[in-house]
């Protein structure tokens, strides 16, 4: 988890998002719908984005997980975090951890996505505030497509 190994015995029914929030106290991962629709709970599982309300904690056994708290390095924000900040890619911030991790996953797979590809890739992440335009600009900046 964010570069640290943890070992816990958990109920087989415990969802990964609840393990993150309630056992590890990593509350940067948000719960929106709990039904795999909104994307607020998105984390990286071995560098691919997953909705952590759709999997059990035990399914993550032995795998590498990154939450929003694990993106910064040596006190420096991840370029995607900087881009969201500079482009006002957030308002209330509720969707933002999931949106940023989904965007990081996109650029891991496709470092130079078109606007359409960005929109398609983020269609599983809902934002009730921004209207999405500044989120798209943020991803484009992180991809080096704008200054």
Tell me which of 2, 10, 14, 31 binds ligand FES, using CB under 6 A: 31
Is residue 38 involved in binding ligand FES (CB under 6 A)? yes
H or E stretch covering 49: strand 48-51
Which residue, among 119, 101, 93, 100, has the nearest Cα to 49 in the 3D structure?
Answer: 101
CB 71 within 8 A of CB 78: yes
Is residue 94 involved in binding ligand FES (CB under 6 A)? yes
Give the helix ranges, DSSP H, for 38-127.
79-86, 96-109, 115-121
Is residue 95 involved in binding ligand FES (CB under 6 A)? yes
In whole angstroms, the minimum distance from the beta carbon of 74 to ligand FES comes to 27
Under rule CB under 6 A, which residues in 123-142 are in contact with ligand FES?
127-130
Rounded to whole angstroms, how far apart are CA atoms 57 and 53? 9
Tell me which of 53, 68, 100, 107 binds ligand FES, using CB under 6 A: 53
Tell me which of 32, 70, 97, 113 binds ligand FES, using CB under 6 A: 32
């Amino acid at each position: 988890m964010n570069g640290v190994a943890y070992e816990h015995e958990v109920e087989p029914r415990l969802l990964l998002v609840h393990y993150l929030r309630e056992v590890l106290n990593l509350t940067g991962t948000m719960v929106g719908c709990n039904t795999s629709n909104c994307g607020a709970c998105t984390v990286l599982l071995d560098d691919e984005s997953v909705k952590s309300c759709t999997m059990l904690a035990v399914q993550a056994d032995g795998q590498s997980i990154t939450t929003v708290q694990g993106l910064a390095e040596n006190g420096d924000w991840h370029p995607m975090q900087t881009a969201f900040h500079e482009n006002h890619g957030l308002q209330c911030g509720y969707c933002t951890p999931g949106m940023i991790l989904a965007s990081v996953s996109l650029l891991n797979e496709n470092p130079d996505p078109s606007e359409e590809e960005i929109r398609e890739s983020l269609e599983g992440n809902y934002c009730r505030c921004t209207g999405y335009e500044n989120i798209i600009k943020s991803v484009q900046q992180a991809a080096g497509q704008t200054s």
